[in-house]
Amino acid sequence: MIIKDPISATLTEEHAEFMSRLKETAGALYGENRKITDGSYDRSLAVRCVNGTFVGRRAGDIIVYRGIPFVGRQPVGELRWKAPAEAVPDDGIYEAFYNGKCAPQREIEFSSAYVQGEDCLYLNIWKADDGAERRKPVMVWVHGGGFEIGGTADPGYDFLNFVKENPGVVVVSIAYRLGVLGFLHLSHLPDGGEYPDAQNLGLMDQMAALKWVSGNIAGFGGDPDNVTIFGESAGAGSVSLLPLVRGSHRYFRRVIAESGSPAMCRSAEEAAGITDELMKALGCGTVAELQKLDAEELVRAAGDVVLLRGLPERDGRFLPSETFDAYADGAARDLDILAGCNREEMSTWNGSMGDEGYTAWAGDLMEKKLARLTDEEKELVEGFYRDVTGERREKLRSLLDQIWFTAPLLRTVENQAAAGGRAYAYFFTARSGHGGELTTVLCHPEMDEAAADETFAKIIRKMWVQFAETGDPSLPEDISPDGRPKEWPPYDLTGRQVMILDESGIHPEKEAGGKLADRDRTYFLTRHYIF
C-alpha cells in the first residue's frame, strides 16, 4: 500500500476499523529471524557479511534477504537519540526471512500497522540468481512518508517484481528512525549536550546502512563502486541531502530523487522552537524526563505538535546551513543526479483531506509563508495566486506545488549543472498527484486500478536502471522496451531540457513547456525552503 501523506489520516471510527483490518494483514507477515545453530540451512542462499552470515529465501529466480541488521546495537534504552552504532564482527548464522520492525510512528498505513519498535534498523536485499559473474549495479531505496511514517515492510516497497524484470541490478531497501526519535533537536535543553546528533539521526541511520552496503554488497553480487541511492518524497529529500554529508560520496555515485529535494529541511532555530512546543505539551523540561516516556507516548504527542515539521536540520555540522548553496558550490558535482516531480502533486493532499480540510490547512501554510516575505515579494506571490484559474483550493494547490516541488526541483538541477555536475530532470505527467509514479517505477501494477501502459512502465523502469548502471538514463534502441531509442538530454543552463514522461509520448521540452516553476513570481521562494 503506497502512500501516503502523513496528514490525511484522522482518528475516525472508519479509520480505526481500517487500521484494525490492516493490522491483521500486516501482523500475519511478521516473524522474527532466528540464529541458526544446528547447521541446517541452504548454503546456496547464505552470504557471509561482517556482522554474520545471512540466509535468504528463494522466490523463483530471485533470492530475497529480509531483516538484516546494519548496526551493532539497536537504538533502544540508553541509545535512544544516539548516533547509530557501527556493525561489529559476528560469526553467527542467521535467518533473513522476515522484515525488521518498523520505526515507531502514527497508525496511518501498512508500515504503521506492521509491528513497530525502536529496534528498527534493518535492511532488505533482492538479487537475481542468474549465475552472473560480473558485479551488478546496486540501487538503494529510501522510503518516503514525511520523515514521520513508512517502512521497508510496505508491500509497495517490495522489489521482487522489479528485479525479476531487471535482473541486472541488486536492490536494497533501508530503514531509518522517524519523527521525534529520528529528527528532534535536543542540544539546547539543560542536559541536551549529551545528544548532539538527535536532530539528524534518521539521515545518520541511512549513512550507516550505506556504509554496511559498501562493505558487504559484493557478497550478494553487487558492485560497491556503483551504488545509486533513490527515493520518493521524504526519501527523495533524504537522497538529495545525503550528498551534502561529509564523506558520503565514498558510498554512492548516483542519486534519483522522486518528488523531493534539498528544500526538505529546517533551520536549527525552527527545530529548537518545535522541540519547545513538544516539551510543553508533554510537561517535560529535560531529556532525562523524555527518556522515561515510551515511544508510543512520544509519537502520539508529536502527532499533534510536530506534524510534518520534523525534518532534517541544517545544523551547519552534519548538514550545511544552506543546502541549495552547497549544490551551487559544487558539493555534488562528482555525482550524477536524476530528479523530477509529478503533475499536480498537491492533489493527493486535497483528495485525502477533502476540500474544506485542505483549504484550511494550505491556507494557513500560505499565510505563514507570506508573513516571512517583503512587501514586494508578497505582491509577486499574490499575483501568481490571483492568476491561477479556479476556486481557492486550486489556487492553493498550484502555489504549494511551486513551493514544495517544482521550484525546488529546478533550483536543484540548475545549481548542479552550474557547478559542473551532471543532472537530468523529468516531469511525470502520466498520472497526477504525489506518489503517482510509484506503482509504475516500483513495478506494482496490481496495486493500481488505473495502471500505466505496460510498455510505457517498462521504459520508465529501464531508464532508472540504465541511469543506475551508466549515469545516463537515455535508452539506445537495442535495450528500449519499445525498440525505439529514447534520448534524454542532461539539464544545462542553455537548453534547460526536462524529460516529459507521458504515455502519449516521452520527449524533452524546455523547462517542461513552462509547466514547472514561475521564475519571476515563485522561484525565489526556494530561499525560504518549504515552510
Q: What is the pLDDT of residues 132-159, one digit of tens each?
A: 999 999 999 999 999 999 999 999 999 9
Which parts of 298-343 are beta strand (E)?
313-314, 336-343
pLDDT at 12: 65
Indicate whether this model's pTM tops 0.85.
Answer: yes
Q: What is the pLDDT of residues 287-323, one digit of tens each?
A: 999 999 999 999 999 988 887 889 999 999 999 999 9
Which parts of 433-501 are beta strand (E)?
497-501
Residues of the chain above pLDDT 90, percent: 89
Burial (Cβ within 10 Å: 0-12, 13-18, ≥19) of residue 445: middle
Whole-angstrom Cα distance, residue 183 to residue 313?
8
pLDDT at 6: 44
Q: How high does pLDDT run on average in the chain?
A: 95
Catalytic residues: 233
Q: What is the pLDDT of residues 6-57, one digit of tens each?
A: 444 444 677 788 888 888 888 888 999 999 999 999 999 999 999 999 999 9
- Average pLDDT of the residues in 275-282: 96
Domain 13-528 in CATH 3.40.50.1820: yes
Q: What is the pLDDT of residues 472-531, one digit of tens each?
A: 999 999 999 999 999 999 999 999 999 999 999 999 999 888 889 999 999 999 999 988
Whole-angstrom Cα distance, residue 391 to residue 207?
44
Residue 71 has pLDDT above 50, yes or no: yes
Residue 1 has pLDDT above 90, yes or no: no
Asked if 314 contacts 268 with a C-beta cutoff of 8 angstroms, the reply is yes
